[in-house]
Amino acid sequence: MPDIKIHPPVIRAVTDCLKAVFEEGKVADKEVHFLLKHNKQFGSRDRAFIAESVYDVVRWRRRYEYQLAQSSTPLTYYKHLMLMSLLRRGMTPLQPDVFGVSTAVLTELQHIAEMPLPSEDIAQSYPKELYDFCAEQIGEKWPALAAALNEPPAVYIRVNTLKTSREKLLPQLQELGLEVLPVRTEIFPEHLAETAGNALQIISKNNLKNSALYREGLFEFQDIGSQAIGTFLFKALQHRHIAELRVLDLCAGAGGKTLHLSALMGNRGKIFATDYNAARLKNLAQRAQQAGCENIEIIDYKTAATLKNIDIVLMDAPCSGTGTFRRQADLKYKTTPQKIEEYRGIQAGLLHDYSRLLHAGGQLVYATCSILPQENDYQIQAFLQTHPDMESEHTISLWPTAYPGDGFFMAMLKKK
């Protein structure tokens, strides 16, 4: 194990983030971004180390807590979780006293870190209730999924075809000294293979959000699974006159899929974007302008319910987010069977209420970033049983074990 020297301000930064995540329910990546933005004194190496340490502790918290409990000395502080993280990542602190432990305790922890763990829920660091629930619902696929969702996430961008192409953008990114790879077509199911055409993976660490290329609207950060939803929806548009289409993006959030759809439609037709949480839409107008999107109209959520004769409703439904654990590991500790049931009720209500906006022949794209059947296939089956005027045309599940993106489900429904 390499010996490393860690300064107390770095430890404080990590533990401050962990406290905000575990005690205040903050989102890990947003908390890290906030802390680093307001602490310019850290150099690039420290900033990367802080971020990686926070994400690692959040991802493996339960495992580290179990291991600390095996020590002969009570170790219950966030800095001790950070210490276990260092040991798991192959690093030995030169000055264990900054973590409040002796050399002897450090040696003991190194031994504990190598010991076998008693159960898969601890080994994979999931709350036992959630691990057992997913095992019951998902079945034999769950152990592999649990492990895959603990892998660090890859960084993907979507090329904005309203302003450039992948062939033009790729060398521009490489000129910035970045290692960039085109996303391969074969990682997607055949129906979604076109997604790869405008997707790039950023391998090297980057600060691209401060780059001129980003400010010019040439690309957006977007997981390839999220990009695939745009492809899935666009398949439904290809037999229609796009210039005459009226599309409702019901749960637009920050607007990543809205911007993607606008580019796919070539600024033709009309996209109504809304969200029940209006605060999520606050930057969409500025992002749309930056991206050159001219066919987006942001509307109030109550107004959306009054629309008529909509061609396509995109419903990126509120869900458990279980497909995004590798990107949002803090969700593991917030997701419960009770919360999942709440989401299932919300999804059913949205499907019922907003399928009525479609004209005959209109389509509804239902999508979640969940891997749970009751939010996905079972939800669609239940909806179709009570809505005989609707039929299923196509469904796809993207599993994190089968490709390197987040877990997603998408269904294409049609009003008869």
Local confidence band at 403 (pLDDT 50, 70, 90 cut-offs): very high
Local confidence band at 4 (pLDDT 50, 70, 90 cut-offs): confident
Task: Record the pTM.
Answer: 0.94
**SS3 state of residue 312:** strand
**78-121, pLDDT tens digit by residue?**
999 999 999 999 999 999 999 999 999 999 999 999 999 999 99
192 is a domain residue: no
Q: Which CATH number is 354's domain given?
A: 3.40.50.150
Backbone torsions φ then ψ of 367, nearest 5 degrees? -140, 145
156 is a domain residue: no
Same domain, 106 and 228: no
Q: Is the pLDDT of residue 1 over 60?
A: no
Same domain, 235 and 114: no
55 is a domain residue: yes
61 is a domain residue: yes
Task: Compute the distance between CA of residue 64 and CA of residue 357 in angstroms, rounded to an integer.
Answer: 50
How confident is the model at residue 304, as a pLDDT?
Answer: 95
Task: Over range 1-14, report the average pLDDT.
Answer: 88
Measured over the CA atoms of residue 170, residue 176, residue 181 and residue 185, the dihedral's sign is negative
Q: Is the pLDDT of residue 75 over 80?
A: yes
How confident is the model at residue 236, as a pLDDT?
Answer: 83
**50-68, pLDDT tens digit by residue?**
999 999 999 999 999 999 9
Half-sphere exposure of 410 (CA within 13 A, CB side): 27
Go through 26-46 and write b for each residue having 16 or more CB atoms within 10 A of its CB, e for each that does not. bbbbebbeebbeeeeebeeeb
Task: Compute the distance between CA of residue 142 and CA of residue 140 in angstroms, rounded to an integer.
Answer: 5
Write the CA distances from 125 to 225, 264, 331, integer angstroms.
24, 40, 12
What does the chain come to in residues?
A: 416
Task: Over range 349-362, report the average pLDDT.
Answer: 96
162 is a domain residue: no
Task: Over range 157-165, report the average pLDDT.
Answer: 97
Q: Are 388 and 215 in contact (CB under 8 A)?
A: no
Write the CA distances from 217 to 36, 104, 159, integer angstroms.
24, 54, 9
State which of 118, 134, 153 marks the end of a domain.
118
Complete edge-to-edge strand list for the sheet that includes strand 199-202: 180-182, 199-202, 155-159, 219-221
Range of the domain at 86: 3-118
Go through 341-364 and write b for each residue having 16 or more CB atoms within 10 A of its CB, e for each that does not. eebbeebeebbeebbebbeeebbb
Q: Are 132 and 191 in contact (CB under 8 A)?
A: no
Identity of the residue numbered 77: Y
Quote the strand ranges of 290-387, DSSP E: 296-298, 310-316, 358-368
State which of 57, 91, 118 marks the end of a domain.
118
Q: Which of 260, 225, 221, 135 is nearest to 409 (CA)?
A: 225
State which of 99, 118, 137 marks the end of a domain.
118
- Bridge partner residues of 297 (DSSP): 272
- What total number of domains does the chain contain? 2
Q: Are 54 and 18 in contact (CB under 8 A)?
A: yes
Element (DSSP H or E) covering residue 257: helix 256-264
**191-234, pLDDT tens digit by residue?**
999 999 999 999 988 789 889 999 999 999 999 999 999 999 99
Element (DSSP H or E) covering residue 93: strand 92-93
How confident is the model at residue 207, as a pLDDT?
Answer: 83
411 is a domain residue: yes
